[in-house]
Amino acid sequence: MDSTQPLLNRSLSRASRTGTLTTWECAKKDIELIFLSSPVNVLLLFVPLGLIWGYGQMSHTWSFVFNFLAIVPLAAVLANATEQLADKAGSTIGGLLNATFGNAVELIVSVIALREGQVRIVQASMLGSLLSNLLLVLGFCFVFGGYNGLQQSFNQTAAQTMSSLLAISCASLLIPAAFRATIPHSKEDWVIEDKILALSRYTSIILLIVYVLFLVFQLGSHHMIFEQQEEETDEIISQYSRKGSHHELSIKSALIILLGATILVSICADFLVGTIDNVVASTGLSKTFIGLIIIPIVGNAAEHVTSVMVAMKNKMDLAISVAVGSSLQIALMVTPFMVLVGWVIDVPMTLNFSTFETTTLFISIFLSNYLILDGESNWLEGVMALAMYILIAMAFFFYPDEPMPSQVAEQVIKSVL
């Protein structure tokens, strides 16, 4: 079919090809396609359990567990519906759709947590998503991709472009931390926090502009660098998502599934966030550990599985794109967007992470950049990345929660009054 054929004509052509199918048969094939789109979709069985435990206000711990497991496959369904919709919208609009909805789960969970005043959870989950993609996913890709002794290669230019942008995002977190550490101590605490909040908001605007320019770079002026990744993406989708079937979601079906999955994710995320305080009290885990290690698994599980599968097929360009590209979206789009959302709803969400957190982020970005510097990978490099992630996870398991700057400011104001 001519690629320049209008979208409407292509839709009519598809209708003519599937004209023998009834509405029920098309719906059945759509559901089958969605269920087979990812190995993690077997966890969809936990969606009704999470809703029952949430609406029934039963055990907070089990409600947390069930809704946690329910969001994992819903994230995969959301990603697949977005991909199907992007296929029919053209490369430019499709790229924008993937960029917008690629981290929809993280955005939904973070907005709900921010609305509940769980700033510590939001900050930790943003950092945790960066660490899991840069170390855990990248490490598994290198290990499983090079398990048979292969020295795999990938597009060094594209990988280093994304890793350089990650360095900018790391600086955006280091600067507020350094600002707070070096500001004169004669200043009142509330004055310092007010300045850091303003710095974070203006920094977030700059980061979002940089992200938009990166999209222009990736989809427009230098799209040829990323063309190989797009071709590999189409190949993997045809092999794993469609299972050899030629059936595709219509635009209407993709939009309905996208809307339904978003609503279910929002409900499950609301129950998940609402039980965090009770889980912290009952298990003894810190909010930092829950946000940094546990929550990121929710939105990244499907991507983790996909990355490992394509790495085993020696498609390292796509694996690197998923791991580093997802980190880039979190750093340059989701995190600054959450700061601006906090600005709108009057919640003091800042880029001022603790010294320990910014140190671990710096080490992670430094190691990941070093590993992809030469454009080649092997299983030992994967072991290095996994070992670093385990070390950081153990450190945060024992790391106690610190009072948020807003809590410190409130305590100071109460003491003055």
Res 220: pLDDT: 72
Give the residue among 288, 283, 270, 278 at the shortest CA–CA distance from 353: 288
Please write the tens of the pLDDT for every residue from 112-161: 888 888 888 888 888 888 888 889 888 988 888 888 767 888 777 777 77
Higher pLDDT, 135 or 417: 135
Q: Across residues 357-365, what is the average pLDDT?
A: 88
Give the dihedral of Cα atoms 137, 143, 145, 148; nearest 10 deg.
-170
Using CA of residue 31, residue 33, residue 35, residue 41, what is the dihedral sign? negative
Res 203: pLDDT: 92
Is the model's pLDDT at 187 over the cut of 80?
A: no
CA–CA gap between residue 58 and residue 52 (Å, rounded): 8
Q: What's the predicted TM-score (pTM) here? A: 0.77
Q: Across residues 290-312, what is the average pLDDT?
A: 79
CB 125 within 8 A of CB 296: yes
> 6-12 long-range contacts, Cβ below 8 Å, gap at least 24?
7/88, 7/89, 7/90, 10/88, 11/88, 11/250, 11/251
Is the model's pLDDT at 206 over the cut of 90?
A: yes
Domain ranges of the chain: 7-399
